[in-house]
Structure 1
Protein backbone atom coordinates (compact mmCIF):
# COMPACT_ATOMS: atom_id res chain seq x y z
CA UNK A 1 0.00 0.00 0.00
CA UNK A 2 1.31 3.42 -0.88
CA UNK A 3 -0.50 4.91 2.17
CA UNK A 4 -1.62 7.88 0.09
CA UNK A 5 -4.69 8.65 -1.97
CA UNK A 6 -4.21 9.62 -5.60
CA UNK A 7 -4.62 13.26 -4.53
CA UNK A 8 -1.83 12.90 -1.92
CA UNK A 9 -3.95 12.59 1.22
CA UNK A 10 -2.65 10.03 3.72
CA UNK A 11 -4.31 6.63 3.62
CA UNK A 12 -6.49 5.50 6.49
CA UNK A 13 -5.85 2.31 8.48
CA UNK A 14 -8.68 0.51 10.27
CA UNK A 15 -8.35 -2.10 13.02
CA UNK A 16 -10.85 -4.97 13.02
CA UNK A 17 -10.56 -5.95 16.69
CA UNK A 18 -12.25 -9.21 17.69
CA UNK A 19 -12.39 -10.21 21.36
CA UNK A 20 -14.56 -12.73 23.20
CA UNK A 21 -16.86 -13.28 20.24
CA UNK A 22 -17.50 -9.63 19.42
CA UNK A 23 -16.01 -6.93 17.21
CA UNK A 24 -15.15 -3.43 18.43
CA UNK A 25 -16.96 -0.53 16.76
CA UNK A 26 -16.62 3.17 17.57
CA UNK A 27 -19.03 6.01 16.86
CA UNK A 28 -17.42 9.22 15.69
CA UNK A 29 -18.66 12.56 17.01
CA UNK A 30 -18.69 13.83 13.41
CA UNK A 31 -19.90 11.33 10.83
CA UNK A 32 -18.42 10.99 7.38
CA UNK A 33 -21.44 10.86 5.08
CA UNK A 34 -23.50 7.88 6.21
CA UNK A 35 -20.60 6.56 8.27
CA UNK A 36 -21.24 6.81 11.97
CA UNK A 37 -20.23 3.50 13.52
CA UNK A 38 -16.94 2.15 12.21
CA UNK A 39 -13.76 0.39 13.19
CA UNK A 40 -11.06 2.24 15.13
CA UNK A 41 -9.15 4.02 12.37
CA UNK A 42 -7.01 6.95 11.43
CA UNK A 43 -4.51 8.35 8.99
CA UNK A 44 -1.27 6.53 8.32
CA UNK A 45 1.63 8.74 9.36
CA UNK A 46 4.78 9.15 7.20
CA UNK A 47 7.02 6.08 7.51
CA UNK A 48 4.28 4.05 9.21
CA UNK A 49 2.73 0.84 7.91
CA UNK A 50 -1.01 0.35 7.77
CA UNK A 51 -0.73 -2.34 10.45
CA UNK A 52 1.24 -0.04 12.77
CA UNK A 53 -1.27 2.77 12.21
CA UNK A 54 -4.17 0.42 13.03
CA UNK A 55 -2.47 -0.57 16.30
CA UNK A 56 -1.65 3.06 17.20
CA UNK A 57 -5.13 4.36 16.41
CA UNK A 58 -6.76 1.59 18.47
CA UNK A 59 -4.57 2.50 21.46
CA UNK A 60 -5.23 6.25 21.07
CA UNK A 61 -8.97 5.93 20.50
CA UNK A 62 -9.88 3.08 22.87
CA UNK A 63 -6.97 2.46 25.26
CA UNK A 64 -6.60 -1.13 24.06
CA UNK A 65 -3.22 -2.64 23.27
CA UNK A 66 -3.66 -4.83 20.20
CA UNK A 67 -1.44 -6.80 17.86
CA UNK A 68 -2.04 -7.24 14.13
CA UNK A 69 -2.83 -10.80 13.08
CA UNK A 70 -3.90 -10.53 9.44
CA UNK A 71 -4.02 -7.93 6.68
CA UNK A 72 -7.60 -8.17 5.36
CA UNK A 73 -7.34 -5.93 2.32
CA UNK A 74 -7.47 -2.40 1.05
CA UNK A 75 -9.72 -0.30 -1.13
CA UNK A 76 -10.78 3.22 -1.97
CA UNK A 77 -13.76 3.69 0.34
CA UNK A 78 -16.93 4.23 -1.72
CA UNK A 79 -18.32 6.89 0.66
CA UNK A 80 -15.22 8.88 1.59
CA UNK A 81 -12.96 8.33 -1.41
CA UNK A 82 -10.10 7.63 1.02
CA UNK A 83 -7.59 4.84 0.54
CA UNK A 84 -8.35 2.34 3.33
CA UNK A 85 -6.45 -0.65 4.69
CA UNK A 86 -8.06 -3.12 7.09
CA UNK A 87 -6.06 -5.13 9.62
CA UNK A 88 -7.46 -7.86 11.87
CA UNK A 89 -6.14 -7.38 15.41
CA UNK A 90 -6.37 -9.22 18.69
CA UNK A 91 -6.38 -7.70 22.15
CA UNK A 92 -3.20 -7.98 24.21
CA UNK A 93 -4.32 -5.92 27.21
CA UNK A 94 -6.56 -3.15 28.44
CA UNK A 95 -10.23 -2.37 28.72
CA UNK A 96 -11.94 -0.58 25.85
CA UNK A 97 -13.03 2.97 26.65
CA UNK A 98 -13.48 6.22 24.77
CA UNK A 99 -9.86 7.35 24.82
CA UNK A 100 -10.28 10.35 22.55
CA UNK A 101 -13.49 12.11 23.56
CA UNK A 102 -12.94 14.82 20.93
CA UNK A 103 -13.19 12.21 18.15
CA UNK A 104 -15.38 9.49 19.63
CA UNK A 105 -18.84 9.61 21.18
CA UNK A 106 -19.02 5.96 22.25
CA UNK A 107 -17.88 2.43 21.51
CA UNK A 108 -19.53 -0.97 21.47
CA UNK A 109 -18.57 -4.63 21.36
CA UNK A 110 -20.90 -6.02 18.71
CA UNK A 111 -21.95 -9.63 18.03
CA UNK A 112 -22.08 -10.88 14.44
CA UNK A 113 -25.87 -10.68 14.19
CA UNK A 114 -25.90 -7.10 15.51
CA UNK A 115 -23.49 -5.66 12.94
CA UNK A 116 -26.24 -4.65 10.44
CA UNK A 117 -27.85 -2.42 13.11
CA UNK A 118 -24.57 -0.51 13.46
CA UNK A 119 -23.39 -0.72 9.85
CA UNK A 120 -26.57 -1.01 7.75
CA UNK A 121 -24.80 -0.31 4.45
CA UNK A 122 -22.66 -3.47 4.72
CA UNK A 123 -19.00 -4.21 5.18
CA UNK A 124 -16.06 -4.46 2.80
CA UNK A 125 -16.29 -8.08 1.58
CA UNK A 126 -12.92 -9.34 2.93
CA UNK A 127 -13.79 -7.84 6.34
CA UNK A 128 -17.25 -9.42 6.26
CA UNK A 129 -15.75 -12.82 5.42
CA UNK A 130 -13.21 -12.53 8.24
CA UNK A 131 -15.89 -11.54 10.77
CA UNK A 132 -18.22 -14.33 9.58
CA UNK A 133 -15.48 -16.84 10.40
CA UNK A 134 -14.11 -15.15 13.56
CA UNK A 135 -17.48 -14.45 15.19
CA UNK A 136 -19.38 -17.57 14.20
CA UNK A 137 -20.37 -19.42 17.35
Structure 2
Protein backbone atom coordinates (compact mmCIF):
# COMPACT_ATOMS: atom_id res chain seq x y z
CA UNK A 1 0.00 0.00 0.00
CA UNK A 2 2.80 2.43 0.85
CA UNK A 3 4.44 1.63 -2.50
CA UNK A 4 1.18 2.47 -4.31
CA UNK A 5 0.91 5.77 -2.44
CA UNK A 6 4.51 6.62 -3.32
CA UNK A 7 3.74 6.00 -6.98
CA UNK A 8 0.56 8.11 -6.85
CA UNK A 9 1.94 10.95 -4.73
CA UNK A 10 3.75 12.76 -7.58
CA UNK A 11 0.57 12.61 -9.69
CA UNK A 12 -1.57 13.94 -6.86
CA UNK A 13 0.87 16.73 -6.10
CA UNK A 14 0.99 17.74 -9.75
CA UNK A 15 -2.80 17.81 -9.93
CA UNK A 16 -2.97 19.94 -6.80
CA UNK A 17 -0.28 22.25 -8.12
CA UNK A 18 -2.70 24.20 -10.30
CA UNK A 19 -3.29 27.53 -8.63
CA UNK A 20 -6.77 28.05 -7.24
CA UNK A 21 -8.59 30.77 -9.16
CA UNK A 22 -11.23 32.91 -7.48
CA UNK A 23 -14.50 33.25 -9.34
CA UNK A 24 -14.75 36.63 -11.11
CA UNK A 25 -18.51 36.34 -11.69
CA UNK A 26 -20.64 39.11 -10.23
CA UNK A 27 -24.39 39.15 -10.50
CA UNK A 28 -27.39 36.98 -9.75
CA UNK A 29 -26.14 33.48 -9.10
CA UNK A 30 -27.75 30.39 -10.58
CA UNK A 31 -27.47 27.08 -8.77
CA UNK A 32 -27.16 23.76 -10.59
CA UNK A 33 -25.59 20.36 -10.04
CA UNK A 34 -23.11 21.03 -12.85
CA UNK A 35 -22.17 23.75 -15.31
CA UNK A 36 -19.85 24.57 -18.16
CA UNK A 37 -18.80 27.04 -20.81
CA UNK A 38 -19.49 27.34 -24.52
CA UNK A 39 -16.89 29.59 -26.10
CA UNK A 40 -16.50 30.23 -29.83
CA UNK A 41 -13.54 32.10 -31.24
CA UNK A 42 -12.93 32.55 -34.98
CA UNK A 43 -15.26 29.69 -35.93
CA UNK A 44 -13.82 27.26 -33.39
CA UNK A 45 -15.44 25.89 -30.23
CA UNK A 46 -13.45 25.29 -27.05
CA UNK A 47 -13.77 21.60 -26.11
CA UNK A 48 -11.99 19.05 -24.01
CA UNK A 49 -11.19 15.44 -24.70
CA UNK A 50 -11.85 13.43 -21.56
CA UNK A 51 -9.65 10.59 -20.39
CA UNK A 52 -11.91 8.19 -22.30
CA UNK A 53 -11.30 10.03 -25.58
CA UNK A 54 -14.74 11.64 -25.87
CA UNK A 55 -15.38 15.33 -26.57
CA UNK A 56 -17.46 17.88 -24.64
CA UNK A 57 -17.43 21.55 -23.71
CA UNK A 58 -15.44 22.16 -20.52
CA UNK A 59 -17.52 21.86 -17.39
CA UNK A 60 -18.37 19.69 -14.45
CA UNK A 61 -19.86 19.26 -11.02
CA UNK A 62 -20.57 22.28 -8.82
CA UNK A 63 -19.22 22.30 -5.28
CA UNK A 64 -21.72 22.53 -2.40
CA UNK A 65 -23.11 26.10 -2.31
CA UNK A 66 -21.14 27.14 -5.41
CA UNK A 67 -22.90 29.29 -8.00
CA UNK A 68 -23.31 27.56 -11.36
CA UNK A 69 -21.44 30.42 -13.04
CA UNK A 70 -18.49 29.88 -10.68
CA UNK A 71 -18.59 26.13 -11.31
CA UNK A 72 -18.44 26.83 -15.06
CA UNK A 73 -15.47 29.18 -14.53
CA UNK A 74 -13.62 26.79 -12.19
CA UNK A 75 -14.20 23.64 -14.23
CA UNK A 76 -13.21 25.38 -17.46
CA UNK A 77 -10.01 26.61 -15.81
CA UNK A 78 -9.22 23.16 -14.41
CA UNK A 79 -9.85 21.44 -17.74
CA UNK A 80 -8.25 23.97 -20.08
CA UNK A 81 -6.13 26.38 -18.04
CA UNK A 82 -8.04 29.26 -19.65
CA UNK A 83 -9.93 32.05 -17.88
CA UNK A 84 -13.41 32.31 -19.36
CA UNK A 85 -16.06 34.62 -17.98
CA UNK A 86 -19.55 33.07 -17.85
CA UNK A 87 -22.25 35.27 -19.28
CA UNK A 88 -25.71 34.39 -20.53
CA UNK A 89 -27.24 31.03 -19.66
CA UNK A 90 -27.84 29.44 -23.05
CA UNK A 91 -29.10 25.95 -22.17
CA UNK A 92 -30.19 23.74 -19.30
CA UNK A 93 -29.96 20.04 -20.11
CA UNK A 94 -32.15 17.29 -18.66
CA UNK A 95 -29.31 16.39 -16.27
CA UNK A 96 -29.48 19.89 -14.77
CA UNK A 97 -26.22 20.87 -16.48
CA UNK A 98 -26.20 24.66 -17.08
CA UNK A 99 -24.32 25.78 -20.20
CA UNK A 100 -23.18 29.41 -20.30
CA UNK A 101 -21.94 31.53 -23.16
CA UNK A 102 -18.41 32.38 -22.03
CA UNK A 103 -15.94 34.98 -23.20
CA UNK A 104 -12.24 34.26 -23.05
CA UNK A 105 -10.18 36.78 -21.07
CA UNK A 106 -7.60 38.46 -23.33
CA UNK A 107 -4.72 37.61 -20.98
CA UNK A 108 -5.84 34.03 -20.50
CA UNK A 109 -2.83 32.41 -22.15
CA UNK A 110 -2.78 29.05 -23.88
CA UNK A 111 -4.59 25.81 -23.23
CA UNK A 112 -2.91 23.91 -20.41
CA UNK A 113 -5.25 21.48 -18.63
CA UNK A 114 -4.60 20.33 -15.06
CA UNK A 115 -3.32 16.80 -14.81
CA UNK A 116 -6.09 14.22 -14.39
CA UNK A 117 -8.86 16.64 -15.46
CA UNK A 118 -8.77 16.06 -19.21
CA UNK A 119 -6.61 14.39 -21.81
CA UNK A 120 -6.44 17.68 -23.71
CA UNK A 121 -8.29 20.86 -24.50
CA UNK A 122 -8.48 22.29 -28.00
CA UNK A 123 -10.37 24.54 -30.37
CA UNK A 124 -12.64 22.40 -32.56
CA UNK A 125 -13.38 23.82 -35.98
CA UNK A 126 -17.06 23.98 -36.85
CA UNK A 127 -16.10 22.16 -40.07
CA UNK A 128 -15.03 19.16 -37.93
CA UNK A 129 -17.93 19.35 -35.49
CA UNK A 130 -19.61 16.14 -36.66
CA UNK A 131 -16.32 14.20 -36.98
CA UNK A 132 -15.73 13.70 -33.25
CA UNK A 133 -17.21 11.33 -30.69
CA UNK A 134 -19.22 13.39 -28.21
CA UNK A 135 -19.28 12.43 -24.54
CA UNK A 136 -23.06 12.10 -24.30
CA UNK A 137 -25.57 10.82 -26.89
CA UNK A 138 -27.09 13.73 -28.79
CA UNK A 139 -24.66 16.25 -27.29
CA UNK A 140 -23.08 17.22 -30.60
CA UNK A 141 -26.47 17.77 -32.24
CA UNK A 142 -27.73 19.82 -29.28
CA UNK A 143 -24.61 22.00 -29.32
CA UNK A 144 -24.85 22.42 -33.08
CA UNK A 145 -28.44 23.65 -32.70
CA UNK A 146 -27.36 26.08 -29.96
CA UNK A 147 -24.52 27.41 -32.10
CA UNK A 148 -26.76 27.89 -35.11
CA UNK A 149 -29.39 29.67 -33.00
CA UNK A 150 -26.82 32.18 -31.68
CA UNK A 151 -26.55 35.16 -34.02
CA UNK A 152 -22.94 35.64 -35.07
CA UNK A 153 -21.70 32.69 -32.97
CA UNK A 154 -18.96 31.90 -35.45
CA UNK A 155 -17.84 35.54 -35.48
CA UNK A 156 -17.24 35.96 -31.74
CA UNK A 157 -13.88 37.34 -30.75
Structure 1-normalised TM-score? 0.73
Match of 2:14 in 1: none
- Structure whose CA Rg is larger: 2
Encode CA deviations 1:21-55: one digit per residue, 9 max, x unaligned: 31111000036xxxx10000110112222221111
**Counterpart Cα distance in 1 of 2:116 and 2:150:** 28
Match of 2:17 in 1: none
Q: Would you tell me which structure has more helix in proportion to its own residues?
A: 2
Unaligned runs of 5+ in 1: 4-10, 77-81
Give runs of aligned pairs for residues 16-31 of structure 1, distance below 5 A. Answer: 16-30=38-52
Paired residue secondary structure (2:123) = strand
Match of 2:96 in 1: 83
Match of 1:129 in 2: 148
**Counterpart Cα distance in 2 of 1:45 and 1:129:** 31
Encode CA deviations 1:79-122: one digit per residue, 9 max, x unaligned: xxx32110010100323424222121122211222111125643
Paired residue secondary structure (1:29) = coil
Structure 2-normalised TM-score? 0.65
Q: Would you tell me which structure has more strand in proportion to its own residues?
A: 1
Unaligned runs of 5+ in 2: 1-29
Contact 1:112 1:132 in 2 (8 A): no
**Counterpart Cα distance in 1 of 2:35 and 2:86:** 12
**Counterpart Cα distance in 1 of 2:126 and 2:155:** 7
Aligned residues: 121
Q: 1:63 to 1:104 in 2, by over 3 A?
A: same
